[in-house]
Structure 1
């Protein structure tokens, strides 16, 4: 995606009109301009995608039938990209058959108007959808402002429909670039199981992902409709707990990390994967831990350290 173009939005909300017929563009452009909107135009699908990526309009008025890439494909691509997925799309079409209306909504449209276009109707529908989009943006920004990361997940294909900036940063850190737009199967399966539990009236369970001393906790928050769910994430760190264990038992930080995960019930193989070392190295660290604690078994070491971990807030 290209970086958003800097546009002065104080002059009015930004609208992108996509239509391959110049007369349609002219009529809508004049009506929107007179109503105080800032207007961009595109005459084909590729140009529409480029302008959306550059300018991030507040709403898109999209012709359904165009040569080359049609409006349905443009909508699908906009909704597939986290940067543009939040933008409401109103289809403009002369096709009122049920099949085409269904295609418009399946592609991600929030509404449609029929041709010939009536400017007053378009303006009224735009106002409703832009107000709803602003409320959604305010909610996402509020989550970020309070240190929460959130995204909307479509359960059917584990697709991320939108995500706050903090959520994007955390997902990239824990999952890598391959999962910026789609959750891995383990997290997706958890989300589907929790959604089923919520519908059955059961209490949902969190999902946690470890990365060294840090953990990313996922909570299925609420159903936003159409099999889409809001997921809130929170990152916690075990670093302070590990440092406390090291100070209490006079261990190195690496030994303290190993002991911490022993207390958490992890096997040597689990610990090796979490800390990025071989199981043999984990075993060597454990031998040093046993010697310093004056114990001979994992169970004894865990029992001795468990109370201190709880005092430090790590268990």
Structure 2
């Protein structure tokens, strides 16, 4: 694994363990996955281990308890909820012997069926075929983090997923314990306004007038990832552009107000 990616995951794990807010901790985790694997959409799908049954070819699993996108975008949340029960990778990981990071192309090649329903849903939501799943098993649940890319995943991506899998298992366990302790700690409104550490850094650099290219170079990420963070910032702040985002953040106390100009003597 690249040293910068490994260091980023140390920082992500530290941020997750430090926050008392379940929604913010989840933002840290999903943002870390999206940045590591350069995906345009991610999903988190969970089911109880005790009730997980291998579905028949013609029946969709009925045991999924959570299916949502990383972005909290209604369009992608709807896509995940519709697609997850029919996705070959969901079916694949419901077998307790298939809990390794996997590519959609690999599991279909090995015999997992892509049903016509799945094909239709993939086409409806423009999901393509470049999917990587990272399953994690905790005491009562199996959770599959699904990652969707515009380009094929590389062998290095697979190796990275395998290397961080145990870390994600630990963080997932922590998140479930945290949510159990503070189930009502995060209202939907507060969760939407809470910024991740990476979003806060990008917001500060936007306020300093840095370009997306400059921010990307500073944070060792791609300009495309910076633009994704900006989209999330605009949505959370109710802003339309860089200037309105900065002004909104200042009014909310998320950014310091600039010092007033000194009067001429």
TM over 0.5: no
TM range (shorter): under 0.3
After TM superposition, the score normalised by the length of structure 2 is: 0.25
Structure label with greater radius of gyration:
1
Higher relative contact order structure (alpha carbons within 8 Å, sequence separation ≥ 6): 2
- Structure with more of its chain in strand, by fraction: 1
Give TM-score scaled by structure 1 length: 0.22
